[in-house]
């Protein structure tokens, strides 16, 4: 279904953003060439933890499963920032499905799309005040050296979250 990673950073000044844990994805989730890789290190909150970032990357192979998307970003999962990098995204409203799945707890802070390569950054509803700077960019490369029309390349986001600088890149490359 997708690959998930998470990490937590030391507690400095984010007292009201502190969450109480994170659960792993339930069920097998493996079907039609889509494989779920379980979270190896969920955010382990301690007195020094402050920021939990969940990162999902998914080559959708031109197909969308609303159920899989909802399971990946379900409201039972606890994180401050969610980064979703997608490749080979179908033209059927992935952004809307993500926003609806996150509506109770998170808001869309930023997005970048370059044809079928897309990236979304969601934050807890109180997180907008912590965004000090945000930039997005893309780099396109024609498929097979420009012989075919499908673009390969990458989209990237830079965010300064209350002094913590992070860069996220979602790429789709070919040999």
For tokens 């209350």, what's the residue?
A: 162
Give the other-Cβ count within 10 Å of 69's Cβ: 22
| Residue 151 β-bridge partners | 142
d(CA 97, CA 84): 12
The residues, ordered by sequence, that sit 6+ positions from 31 with a Cβ below 8 Å of its Cβ are none
Note down pLDDT in tens along the chain; length 175 residues: 444 444 444 443 344 433 333 333 444 554 555 555 554 455 555 555 578 888 888 888 888 888 888 887 775 667 889 999 999 998 888 899 999 988 888 999 999 999 889 999 999 888 888 899 999 999 888 655 555 556 789 999 999 998 889 999 999 887 6
d(CA 17, CA 123): 10
Instruction: Give yes or no for a contact between 73 and 102, defined as CB atoms under 8 angstroms apart.
Output: yes
d(CA 107, CA 81): 10
Q: How far is CA 47 from CA 17, 31, 105, 106, in A?
A: 13, 39, 23, 23
- In this prediction the pTM is 0.72
Locate 79 and state its tokens. 């994180």
Strand 2-10 with 36-37, pairing? parallel
d(CA 140, CA 142): 7
Domain ranges in the chain are 2-128
């Amino acid at each position: 279904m997708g690959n998930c990673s998470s990490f937590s950073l030391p507690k400095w000044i984010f007292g009201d953003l502190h969450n109480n844990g994170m659960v792993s994805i339930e069920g097998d989730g493996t079907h039609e060439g889509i494989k779920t890789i379980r979270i190896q290190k969920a955010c382990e909150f301690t007195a020094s933890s402050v920021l939990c970032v969940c990162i999902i990357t998914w080559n959708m192979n031109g197909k969308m499963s609303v159920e899989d998307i909802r399971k990946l970003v379900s409201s039972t999962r606890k994180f401050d920032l969610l980064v979703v990098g997608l490749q080979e995204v179908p033209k059927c409203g992935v952004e809307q499905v993500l926003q609806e799945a996150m509506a109770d707890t998170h808001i869309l802070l930023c997005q970048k799309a370059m044809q079928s390569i897309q990236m979304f950054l969601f934050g807890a509803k109180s997180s907008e005040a912590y965004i000090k700077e945000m930039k997005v960019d893309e780099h396109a490369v024609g498929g097979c050296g420009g012989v075919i029309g499908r673009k390969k390349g990458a989209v990237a986001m830079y965010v300064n979250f209350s002094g913590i600088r992070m860069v996220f890149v979602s790429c789709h490359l070919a040999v």
